[in-house]
Structure 1
Amino acid sequence: MKRVAIDLHYLPTLEFFSAIYDAEEVLLFPKDLYQRQSFLNRTKILLANKVETLSIPIKGRRPRIPMDQVKIDFSQKWQAIHLRGIQSAYGKAPFFEYFFPYFEPIFQEQEESLWKFNLELLTICLKLLRWPVRLVSVEKGEDSIEYLDIRGQITPGRPFLERNFYRPQPYPQLFGLDFEPNLSILDLLFCLGPEAGTSLKNSAKKE
Structure 2
Amino acid sequence: MISNPILLSTAYFAPVHFYARYLQHEPVYIEQYENFTKQTYRNRCVISGGNGPISLVVPVVKGRGPKILMKDLQISYDTEWQRNHWQTIVSAYNSSPYFEYYQDDLFLFFRNKTQFLLDYNLKIHEMICEVLELENKIILTTDFEDVPDSTYNLREGISPKNKENTDPEFKPASYTQVFSEKFGFLPNLSILDLLFNEGPNAYTLLIKSINSHIQL
Q: TM-score, normalised by structure 1?
A: 0.92
Q: Cα distance, 1:148 vs. partner?
A: 1.8
The residue aligned with 2:10 is 8
User: In 1, are the aligned partners of 2:6 and 2:27 still within 8 Å (CA)?
Assistant: yes
SS in 2 for 1:6: strand
The residue aligned with 1:76 is 79
Query: For residues 111 and 92 of structure 1, what CA distance do their matches in structure 2 show?
Result: 29
Q: Cα distance, 1:56 vs. partner?
A: 0.8
The residue aligned with 1:96 is 99
* CA deviations over 1:160-190 (Å, ceiling 9, x no partner): 5343242121111111321111110000001
The residue aligned with 1:50 is 52
* CA deviations over 1:48-91 (Å, ceiling 9, x no partner): 22111101111125721110111111011100000001111111
Query: For residues 42 and 57 of structure 1, what CA distance do their matches in structure 2 show?
Result: 9
SS in 2 for 1:161: coil
Q: Kindly, what percent of the aligned residue pairs are identical?
A: 28
**Structure 1 residues 90 and 24: alpha-carbon distance in aligned structure 2, compared to 1, 3 A threshold:** same
Q: Cα distance, 1:125 vs. partner?
A: 1.2
SS in 2 for 1:46: strand
Q: Cα distance, 1:10 vs. partner?
A: 0.6
The alignment yields a C-alpha RMSD, in angstroms, of: 2.0
The residue aligned with 2:175 is 171
> What is the 5 A alignment of 1:22-37?
22-37=24-39
The residue aligned with 1:128 is 131
User: In 2, are the aligned partners of 1:3 and 1:148 still within 8 Å (CA)?
Assistant: yes
Q: Cα distance, 1:113 vs. partner?
A: 0.5
Unaligned runs of 5+ in 1: none
User: In 2, are the aligned partners of 1:21 and 1:201 still within 8 Å (CA)?
Assistant: yes
Q: Match of 1:159, as an amino acid? A: K
The residue aligned with 2:207 is 201
Q: When the two structures are aligned, how many residues end up with a matched partner?
A: 207
Moved more, 90-99 or 163-172: 163-172
The residue aligned with 2:187 is 181
Query: For residues 190 and 104 of structure 2, what CA distance do their matches in structure 1 show?
Result: 17
Unaligned runs of 5+ in 2: none
Q: TM-score, normalised by structure 2?
A: 0.88
